[in-house]
Amino acid sequence: MSNQHHTRRIFTTVHNNYTTKKRSFKHLSSYERGEIYALLKEGRSIRYIAKKLNRSPSTISREIKHGTTTQLRSDLSSYTSYFPETGQAVYEKNRSNCGAKFKVAKAEDFLKYAEDKILHEKWSPDAVVGHCKKDSSWNNKTIVCTKTLYNYIDRGLLAFKNIDLPLKLRLKPRKKQNRKNKRIMGKSIDVRPKEVESREVFRHWEIDTLIGRYYTMFYS
């Protein structure tokens, strides 16, 4: 009897520990962000929300900070409020940057080389990538493509910005073309056939004709 009671007590303790244990996963779900928004609208405190969602107060506080943005009312007065969509967008951006930073660390040697060539020797990103791909000393090292290198620059993951990139305008010299202003308006009367002079052939008649700018014909 005592053994059964002892076993039951152990099971109860384990069960209680299981239900009060904090969640092992770190990131908030879209549903939880919606719950945070609703509870904040009710005027609930951070500690209340954390207990309700079985999260730590620091996690809730950080999420509210990331998801809070300034909005304008219809009368153009401003106010700040938490929005689940903003929190989700910030999370996705941070996650993307985290992956990019991992790749940056993997290609650290190449990116340092790129920084030196671009800043001090005024190479373009495409020139750096092309050179390293042809150089056999880079065969066993990580090299990113030109598009990725530009993405890193746009995200501010390197030691320089777009404004530091060399600007080269290559304009091909234009060839001068002599414009011919002569307009061919028809054959001159001086080169008319001889049979026209005699006016013996039907429809050979001479009239005074003035051809205007847009080929409008006037007769006199």
Residue 150 domain flag: yes
Of the residues 96, 122, 151, which one is the last residue of a structural domain? 96
Domain of residue 70, residue span: 28-96
pLDDT at 168: 45
Of the residues 55, 76, 96, which one is the last residue of a structural domain? 96
Query: For residue 186, is it within any domain?
Result: no
Return the pLDDT at 16.
41
Please count the other Cβ atoms lying within 10 Å of the Cβ belonging to residue 108.
11
Contacts of 49 (CB under 8 A, 6+ apart): 35, 36, 39, 40, 55, 60
Residues 43 and 82 in one domain: yes
Within a domain: residue 201? no
Single out the residue in 96, 122, 150 at which a domain terminates: 96
Please report the pLDDT score of residue 14 as a whole number: 37
CB atoms within 10 A of CB 11: 10
What local confidence, expressed as pLDDT, does residue 48 receive?
Answer: 96
Per-residue pLDDT of the chain (220 residues; tens, 9 = 90+): 445 444 444 333 334 444 444 454 568 888 999 999 999 999 999 999 999 999 999 999 999 998 898 888 888 888 899 998 988 888 777 776 665 666 767 888 888 899 889 888 889 899 999 999 999 999 988 898 998 888 888 877 777 777 778 764 334 455 666 665 555 555 666 666 666 666 666 665 666 565 555 555 555 5
Residue 18 DSSP code? H
- Spatial CA neighbour of 150 closest among 126, 175, 168, 120: 126
* Domain match, 36 and 88 both: yes
The pLDDT, as a whole number, for residue 32 is 92
Half-sphere exposure of 91 (CA within 13 A, CB side): 18
pLDDT tens digits for range 33-54 = 999 999 999 999 999 999 999 9
- For residue 40, the model assigns a pLDDT of 94
Per the structure, the count of domains in the chain is: 2
pTM equals: 0.37
Give Dmax (Cα) for the chain.
Answer: 147
* Residues 32 and 77 reside in one and the same domain: yes
